[in-house]
């Protein structure tokens, strides 16, 4: 073990688990951290069997997350984990995160943060009580050109933000069949494990966070229509929300997991009074900038170009023309989280480093859960308008 590296514990990711493995690659990309422990599966036997594939000592492949947290806590402080990453089904996030924070560990948690508002409130309270770092992996905020768009808007380059459209389209839900679908997809159809928001919670929350992250705007009211086209479950697999944002900005968000041929098609367009920006996750190294009476420009991810903003430069690892994508964007969230962890250890404020704090926080997670809560309520009330302040204490 390298003493200068932060130590990671992974919860989830075993067997065919998808995003846990992405987290490990991203968390260790810059060699600032290493994976030393895990509770990789809900099955104790399977979790222990995963030690070799994750190159973790068999003694530190634990049978459950509670075993991981209590056993790691008993180790000397320079041996034990510094943080856990939670890559398990949605219904487990709140309890695991709260337990980890109370055990003294920082937390990186996947989205949606929780499946209901009460759990989201509990988690917000625990983060503030413990003072530990909590980062929600809304990984699309880690792309350099997304950060570039955010800074260009803050610098006034498109003027006042008038309208925003975000769409997140996938098509894999059609391939799922009751009783035949492999385990990895099955929990997403079970409201007890997935929560009541289907595609809304799965991809709608990413779309909502992208919009909030880039523009810095919050909704004041929304109306939403949800639909389930799939025969194998009753959760939404398609939906759209119209939002009135702070100021006079209009926004629409749509999400689908039933669009044939759409793989991971997340895109955003922002219309301003002076210009417009658009970005697409499947061409993540380009940002399109349109201005009245001028040719539309494509800004390439280019860390040494004059037009590249400071946050976009910092978020880039490779020279222009060498595509960066999903892993690197995820790794940017880890890099930001590590800076916060190291600052806390050194008892200094992360902001004093002179670098913008871009980590999606527990409050961003809360807003995502509130977004799903309001969308579900609006849909249940026949697509009526819901005030953003409703049900907030």
Ligand X SMILES: NC(=O)c1ccc[n+]([C@@H]2O[C@H](COP(=O)([O-])OP(=O)(O)OC[C@H]3O[C@@H](n4cnc5c(N)ncnc54)[C@H](O)[C@@H]3O)[C@@H](O)[C@H]2O)c1
**Residues at the interface with ligand X (CB under 6 A):** 11-15, 17-20, 39-42, 65, 87-90, 92, 110-111, 137, 139, 184, 202
**Quick one: which of 128, 141, 181 has its CA closest to 334?**
141
Which residues in 44-74 are b (16+ Cβ under 10 Å) and which e? Answer: eeebbbbbeebebeeebbbbebeebbebbee
What is the nearest approach in angstroms of ligand X to the Cβ of residue 89?
Answer: 5
C-beta of 61 vs 161, nearer to ligand X: 61
Residue closest to ligand X, measured at CB? 17
Q: Residues 6 or more apart from 25 whose CB is under 8 A from it?
A: 327, 330
Least Å distance, CB 65 to ligand X, is 5
What lies within 8 Å, CB to CB, of 269 at 6+ separation is: 164, 165, 166, 276, 277, 278
Smaller CB distance to ligand X: residue 170 or 378?
A: 170
Cβ closest to ligand X, residue 159 vs residue 191: 191
For the bound state, the minimum distance from the C-beta of residue 108 to ligand X, rounded and expressed in Å, comes to 10
- Give SS3 for 392: coil
CB of 137 to ligand X, least distance (A): 5
Q: How far apart are CA 158 and CA 161, in angstroms?
A: 7
Count the helices and strands in the chain (H runs, E runs).
13, 14
Minimum CB–partner distance for residue 101 and ligand X (Å):
17
CB atoms within 10 A of CB 219: 24
CB nearer to ligand X: pick between 107 and 153: 107
Toward ligand X, which CB reaches closer, 40 or 299?
A: 40
Rounded CA separation 231/66 (Å) = 37
Secondary structure element (H or E) that encloses residue 286, with its range: strand 286-291
- Closer by beta carbon to ligand X, 307 or else 326: 326
Contact 196, 247 (CB under 8 A): no
Nearer to ligand X, 11 or 223 (CB): 11
Q: At its nearest, how many Å lie between ligand X and the CB of residue 231?
A: 21
3-state secondary structure 207-231: HHHHHHHHHCCCEEEEEEEEECCCC
Q: DSSP class of residue 353?
A: G
- Cβ 181 to ligand X, closest distance in Å? 11
Least distance to ligand X, CB of residue 146, Å = 14
Per-residue DSSP letter, 293: T
Find the shortest distance in angstroms from Cβ 44 to ligand X: 9
Query: How many CB atoms within 10 Å of residue 29?
Result: 17
CB nearer to ligand X: pick between 106 and 209: 209
Toward ligand X, which CB reaches closer, 206 or 302? 206
CB within 8 Å of 244: residues ≥ 6 apart: 219, 220, 221, 222, 250, 251
CB-CB contact of 218 with 259 (8 Å)? no
């Amino acid at each position: 073990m390298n003493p200068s590296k932060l130590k990671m514990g992974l919860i989830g990711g075993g067997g065919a688990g998808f995003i846990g493995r992405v987290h490990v690659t991203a968390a260790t990309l810059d060699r600032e951290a290493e994976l030393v422990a895990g509770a990789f599966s809900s099955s104790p036997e399977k979790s222990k069997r995963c030690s070799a594939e994750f190159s973790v000592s068999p003694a530190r492949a634990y049978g459950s997350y509670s075993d991981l947290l209590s056993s790691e806590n008993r180790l000397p402080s320079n041996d034990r984990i510094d943080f856990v990453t939670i890559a398990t089904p949605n219904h487990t996030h709140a309890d695991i995160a709260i337990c980890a924070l109370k055990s003294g560990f920082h937390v990186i948690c996947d989205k949606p943060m929780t499946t209901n508002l009460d759990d989201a409130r509990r988690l917000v309270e625990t983060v503030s009580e413990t003072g530990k770092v909590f980062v929600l992996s809304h990984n699309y905020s880690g792309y350099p050109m997304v950060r570039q768009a955010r800074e260009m808007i803050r610098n006034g380059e498109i003027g006042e933000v008038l309208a925003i459209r975000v769409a997140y389209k996938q098509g894999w839900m059609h391939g799922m069949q009751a009783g035949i679908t492999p385990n990895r997809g099955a929990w997403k159809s079970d409201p007890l494990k997935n929560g009541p928001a289907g595609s809304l919670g799965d991809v709608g929350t990413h779309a909502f966070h992208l919009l909030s992250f880039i523009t810095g705007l919050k909704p004041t009211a929304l109306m939403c229509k949800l639909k389930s086209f799939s025969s194998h479950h009753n959760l939404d697999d398609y939906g759209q929300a119209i939002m009135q944002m702070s100021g006079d900005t209009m926004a629409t968000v749509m999400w689908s997991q039933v669009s044939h041929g759409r793989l991971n098609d997340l895109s955003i367009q922002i219309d301003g009074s002076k210009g417009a920006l658009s970005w697409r996750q499947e061409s993540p190294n380009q940002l399109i900038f349109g201005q009245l009476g001028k040719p539309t420009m494509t800004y390439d991810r280019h860390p040494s170009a004059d037009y590249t903003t400071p946050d976009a430069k910092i978020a880039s690892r490779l020279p222009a023309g060498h595509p960066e994508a999903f892993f690197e964007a995820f790794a940017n969230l880890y890099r930001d989280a590590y800076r916060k962890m190291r600052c806390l250890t050194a008892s200094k404020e992360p902001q004093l480093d002179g670098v913008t704090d871009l980590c999606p926080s527990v409050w961003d997670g809360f807003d995502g859960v509130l977004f799903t809560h309001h969308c579900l309520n609006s849909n249940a009330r026949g697509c009526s308008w819901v005030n953003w302040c409703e049900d907030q204490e």
